[in-house]
Amino acid sequence: MSQRTLAIIKPDAVERKLAGRIIQRIEDEGFTIRAMRRVHLTEQQAGGFYAVHRERPFFASLTQFMSSGPAIVLVLEAEDAIKKWRTLMGATNPANADAGTLRKEFAESIERNATHGSDAPETAAFEIGYFFPGVDLI
């Protein structure tokens, strides 16, 4: 069944001008881009997005990083899009990412890991709604 997921090209990748290459990979893998915009989050907005990680030791550093520069947020659609996008990204920690994945190729560290993807249908619904009103999803 066709599914949607929220993807982020994070500030580390945008800063290094990797957005074009990442978007090309997204299209090459057969995703349809349903929505896309460039955002520069405040620390508070980054905290709202990552609220599930509030108690984690890396939360403050993560929200600082995610608000350090512009990011690109996208809604991707495909069969089994959540899993498919997570497979294309590779493991959170690039040291554990498989060859050929985006994080293996582009991530600098477990935090500056180039991309984000929703991890479940409920998370995808929250994350898509965080950035895109339904009217923009065409």
CA distances from 9 to 2, 23, 107 (A): 22, 9, 11
Rounded least distance, CB 135 to ligand CMP, Å: 26
The smaller minimum CB distance to ligand CMP, of residues 1 and 4, is found at: 4
Q: How far is the CB of 35 from ligand CMP (least distance, A)?
A: 19
As beta bridge partners, residue 75 has 6, 35
Query: How near is the Cβ of 56 to ligand CMP at its closest, in Å?
Result: 7
Nearer to ligand CMP, 58 or 130 (CB): 58
Note the residues at the interface with ligand CMP (CB under 6 A).
Answer: 53, 58, 62, 92, 110-111, 113, 116
Cβ closer to ligand CMP: 71 or 78?
A: 71
- Which residues, at least 6 apart from 75, have a Cβ–Cβ distance to it below 8 Å? 4, 5, 6, 7, 33, 34, 35, 36, 128, 132, 137
- Give me the active site residues, please: 116
- DSSP one-letter string for 54-100: TTSTTHHHHHHHHTSS-EEEEEEEEETHHHHHHHHH--SSGGGPPTT
Q: Tokens for 45, please give them.
A: 């907005």
User: Minimal distance in Å, beta carbon 4 to ligand CMP?
Assistant: 17
Nearer to ligand CMP, 90 or 134 (CB): 90
